[in-house]
Structure 1
Amino acid sequence: MAASSAGPLVTAEALTRLLGDVSVLDVRYRLGGPAGPEEFASGHVPGAAFVDLDRDLAGPPGAGGRHPLPAVGAFQAAMRRAGVCNDRPVVVYDDWAGHAAARAWWLLRHHGHRDVRVLDGAWSGWRALGLAVETGPGSVPGGDFSAGPGTSAMVDAAAVQRVGVLIDARAPERFRGETEPVDPVAGHIPGAVNVPTSRNLTDQGLFRSAEELRAVYAEVGAVPGADVAAYCGSGVTAAHDVLALEIAGVPAALYPGSWSEWITDPTRPVSPASRRRT
């Protein structure tokens, strides 16, 4: 399995043929949803290891936002516990239409893993096809993954407003500042454009084709050769847009701190300006 040549996705049918030759990571996560470990134990892809997004794919919340990047050493240790090896392909899935899986995909690539894919259709797609399910807490041999420089680009708060096409991956009503169910300030980073992650998927929960995604992102100027970055509320769902852009052939950076970091500094501008609250 060579992700660089085959793209960042793998179908459920293809994964059934790869089991035993890849490391499979289950990133069960949803805000306010069922607890991941319990859901994992009730059923998962055979041979998968559970990865906790809050513990393994993010650092402690604070000035860096609600889901800042984990420390390099902590991420490396988490991936080793999950059986990830430098020379073994990785497939990641979740039960959240690929949002949490995209975060793991981005982090692994950012830290140098060269062969990572996301399961297209997620856990629900696997179950819909009636494919094999394993139960219990699971157990995998430890891995030897060594975190190093990778291919996933990022921007920080100091540089994000200089990006040519800055994409906000949140729902349109949050982008417009009409509602904000999570963070204490509503609105968006001035100059950003909105491509909610829902536009990346078909009605069946699969990623749209590369041609369709190119058309979606071309609407906001995110075309090959453009300077593109994405953000969201806390840096998790924006990775879904980065993944979709990868499928479309448009490399994009991630702003990991995203909106939840941006608003920690009251001197940073907010659009609409009237949406900043104290």
Structure 2
Amino acid sequence: MADSPAVPPFVDAAWLDTALAHGRTALADVRWYPDGRDPAEAFAAGHLPGAVRVDVDDVLAGPPSDAAGRHPLPAPDAFLRALADLGLPVDEGVVVAYDDAGGVIAARLVWMLRALGRPAALLDGGLLAWRAAGRPLETGAGEQRAPLPRTGAAPTDLPTTWPAVLLADVDDAARAAADPGSVLLDARPAERFAGAPDALDPRAGHVPGAVGLPVRDDVDALGRLLPEEVLRDRLAAAGVRAEAVAAGAVVSSCGSGVTACHRLLVIEHLGLGRARLWPGSWSQWSRDPARPAATG
């Protein structure tokens, strides 16, 4: 598997305080709502001081399609240039991301940067824990640019492909679901996995053979990670073990490859290695009528 950046995948507020004091660290507010709420309005209503809003649809995803799903990965060079345009560190420095949903949305940005060898971390608890601790918020849209000094010209020599070892396509997902020695994890809420009506995709249900493991159950009411032993037991019960991860036999999916990234960060956090992301996830599978759907 690809090497992991030195920064841990999850950091707390004390770690963030120290990193910000030393400079070359920036905060990214990564919110997205499936019910149609406007992330820009939520950001203006209150965000961590100095944070820059990163749009999921515009920065963290390419154009949606039936063939690729709702949130396919963008070209990595375009992604890094978009972050640089926001003033976020690309060539050096650390990006710490957060949201108001236990990190399950902001994890997409963190995973993407770490997949490209850039240091990034998820703020454990995010906005919910920050508020609960009585820490201050800023309001207003701001300048939408990180207050970091530029280190020179725009980034060059950027990667043009994602590390293949960290990705799975739709056929890889089908094989993982069918192979007793592999695991296809589905991070969506239990009701969506079971087949409850869902306006996001044309069909409800899940990939036959997939294991439902709701990612939002990995955090507490304030969005903070559950104890490591609890997370480890949950993953082990689903068949996730270090040897399977090392063999590329663990694939993480969700609705459209966003919340699945949180599960990947948890697997890395527990020292189990780096599993694979299926970017298309159910949004890709459900748009192909030739692919079977299971319910229950």
TM-score of the pair, normalised by structure 2: 0.83
1:40-59 paired onto structure 2 within 5 Å: 40-59=43-62
Provide the alpha-carbon RMSD of the alignment: 2.2
Q: Quote the residue 1:155 is aligned against.
A: 168
1:107-146 paired onto structure 2 within 5 Å: 107-113=112-118, 115-136=119-140, 137-138=142-143, 139-140=145-146, 141=148, 144=154
Preserved CA contact (<8 Å) 1:109 1:152: no
Which stretch shows the higher mean deviation, 235-244 or 177-186?
Answer: 177-186
**Is the partner of 1:161 in helix, strand or coil?**
helix
Partner Cα distance (1:25, 1:39) in 2: 14
Does the C-alpha gap of structure 1 residues 29 and 178 become closer, same or farther in structure 2, counting only changes over 3 Å? closer
How far apart are 1:145 and its partner, in Å? 5.1
Out of 32, 35, 46, which is 1:32 matched to? 35
Out of 68, 71, 81, which is 2:72 matched to? 68
Out of 86, 94, 99, which is 1:94 matched to? 99
**Is the partner of 2:217 in helix, strand or coil?**
helix
Deviations 1:164-187 (A, max 9, x none): 111011111211224334211111
Preserved CA contact (<8 Å) 1:29 1:95: no
Q: Quote the residue 1:21 is aligned against.
A: 24
Partner Cα distance (2:76, 2:108) in 1: 15
Q: Quote the residue 2:10 is aligned against.
A: 9
The number of residues matched between the two structures is 270
Which stretch shows the higher mean deviation, 44-53 or 14-23?
Answer: 14-23
Partner Cα distance (2:170, 2:209) in 1: 14
Q: Quote the residue 2:195 is aligned against.
A: 177
Report whether the alignment pairs 1:200 with 2:218: yes
Partner Cα distance (2:155, 2:45) in 1: 28
How far apart are 1:102 and its partner, in Å? 0.5
Deviations 1:102-124 (A, max 9, x none): 111111122331x1100000112
Letter in 2 for 1:154: L
1:200-239 paired onto structure 2 within 5 Å: 200-226=218-244, 227-239=249-261
**Is the partner of 2:137 in helix, strand or coil?**
coil
Letter in 2 for 1:159: D
- List alignment gaps of at least 5 residues for structure 2: 177-181
Partner Cα distance (1:217, 1:152) in 2: 21
TM-score of the pair, normalised by structure 1: 0.88
Preserved CA contact (<8 Å) 2:107 2:262: yes
Letter in 1 for 2:275: A
Q: Quote the residue 1:265 is aligned against.
A: 288
Preserved CA contact (<8 Å) 2:215 2:262: yes
How far apart are 1:195 and its partner, in Å? 0.4
Letter in 2 for 1:184: P
Deviations 1:31-71 (A, max 9, x none): 22542222223332222211011111111211211111112
Deviations 1:182-223 (A, max 9, x none): 211111111111100122112332012322211111011111
**Is the partner of 2:263 in helix, strand or coil?**
helix
Partner Cα distance (2:201, 2:137) in 1: 37
Does the C-alpha gap of structure 1 residues 74 and 152 become closer, same or farther in structure 2, counting only changes over 3 Å? same
**Is the partner of 2:32 in helix, strand or coil?**
coil
Deviations 1:228-265 (A, max 9, x none): 11111111111121122222222311100000111222
**Is the partner of 1:158 in helix, strand or coil?**
helix
Preserved CA contact (<8 Å) 1:97 1:122: yes
Preserved CA contact (<8 Å) 2:169 2:278: yes
- List alignment gaps of at least 5 residues for structure 1: none
How far apart are 1:80 and its partner, in Å? 0.7
Partner Cα distance (1:35, 1:75) in 2: 22
